[in-house]
A and B are shown apart, each in its own frame.
Chain A
């Protein structure tokens, strides 16, 4: 490991500024994906972007102030609409694609994907 090894993942990625840079790219990718964008219809875009920001902050290893129960409650109506593993996988792909666009090293992208992965069962209501 290099001299950055004592820094947290969140710091290595660039902290809150990195989240700001990522949120538009990530959200645009999600809305452009016909496989999942129906889950994002009829939502207030500013509120939605704020939620995505909270999610990215958590996935980047930053402070997470919502619980698994919050994730379950928030996604329950989408599970009824048919939300399943394929949709979750698509979101994880967009998360990785966003970080690739921002030239984040693969090793860090893997760590981010691993954190996001921990929410799978809560999001899918299992």
Chain B
């Protein structure tokens, strides 16, 4: 082996033969989180920007991470020069123009952007949107991958939410926003077309789930797909008719809207979305699980799903942490 040149942002270092990338970075005093040095804690995760990293450096990572060329610095002996990035690499890469605004319900806006250049993303990932003065927020992509230049988002108005209030009231057709590269690990993977999928979301957590479902159906997913969308009351639900229509069109897609308070009308379930889901699906062995929305719901449901037999590696979660007041 020979020395390999490593580029991290504007820093350039050399990794010596028989030295792990983590050791090289630490030797050069690069600030990188790390702990176990043996591939267990995954705190030194980095991303290769110019191709597939050494396969042994991806040991133990989730499939989604592997596909995006994430790897562990402590297991990595570079075989060639590498360009790498920190795990939370959030450069704004392009701009988008607002081409549609539509109310989904009293508190949620469907915003559609036309990007200046096509973006590579997976259905279910999120981007950061940034306005002129630098204020930025993360929003999940609500469409499938067919539209590489058009992204839609569900923007829920939050109490005291500066970005969401501005998007609802003052953002106009033709306005421009900076858009980061797509991030996040909660997305559809076509590698197990027969496995059942369970998707549980609250509020605008429907956005990434709708994108994932649309992508799965587009790719001809054969396993059953169960969607549980929850809100406190009927006012918080949206796309009910669209999802019902989709369920009528695809025999393997099952849609259950849920409200946690009040008397539900026909075809709507009483109770929290996760409770309704687990009362109907009792054994989750072999399921792939997607959870999006309120952090408490996501964390509790993750645990419930695991205890009901889902493998931890098959649980994909996206907790919506908000900058302003609580979601619900």
Question: What residues of chain A have their CB less than 8 Å away from a CB belonging to chain B?
Answer: 16, 20, 23-24, 27-28, 31-32, 45-47, 49-51, 53-54, 57, 63, 65-66
Contacts and interface: CB of A to CB of B under 8 A. Distances in A.
B38 interface: yes
B234 to A, nearest CB: 32
Contacts of B307: 28, 31-32
Interface string B297-308: 001001100110
A50 B311 CA distance: 14
B60 A20 contact: yes
A54 B311 CA distance: 18
A54 B41 contact: yes
A50 B303 contact: no
A45 B312 contact: yes
23 contacts: A16-B59, A23-B312, A24-B306, A31-B306, A31-B307, A45-B299, A45-B302, A45-B303, A45-B306, A45-B312, A45-B315, A47-B41, A49-B312, A50-B40, A50-B41, A53-B40, A53-B60, A54-B36, A54-B38, A54-B40, A54-B41, A65-B37, A66-B36
Contacts of A27: 306, 312
B231 interface: no
Contacts of B41: 47, 50-51, 54
Contacts of A63: 38
Contact of A50 (B42, B59, B302): B42
Interface of B: 36-38, 40-42, 59-60, 299, 302-303, 306-307, 311-313, 315
A38 to B, nearest CB: 13
A20 B313 CA distance: 10
A72 to B, nearest CB: 16
Given A16-B59, A49-B312, A53-B40, 13 more contacts: A27-B306, A28-B306, A31-B303, A31-B306, A45-B303, A46-B312, A50-B40, A50-B41, A51-B41, A53-B60, A54-B38, A57-B40, A65-B37
A50 B45 CA distance: 13
Q: Which of B36, B40, B315 has the most CB of A within 10 A?
A: B40
Contact of A57 (B38, B303, B311, B312): B38
B38 A65 contact: yes
Contacts of B42: 50
Contact of A24 (B36, B60, B303, B312): B312
Q: Which of A31, A32, A50 has the most CB of B within 10 A?
A: A50
Contacts of A57: 38, 40
Nearest to B310: A24
A42 B36 CA distance: 22
A4 B145 CA distance: 51
A47 B40 CA distance: 10
Q: Which of B37, B38, B315 has the most CB of A within 10 A?
A: B38
Nearest to B41: A50
Nearest to B315: A45
Q: Which of B36, B59, B315 has the most CB of A within 10 A?
A: B36
A65 B74 CA distance: 12
A49 B60 CA distance: 11
A20 B60 CA distance: 8
Contacts of A23: 312
A70 to B, nearest CB: 9
A63 B39 CA distance: 11
Contacts of B302: 45
A37 to B, nearest CB: 10
A51 B222 CA distance: 35
A22 B307 CA distance: 15
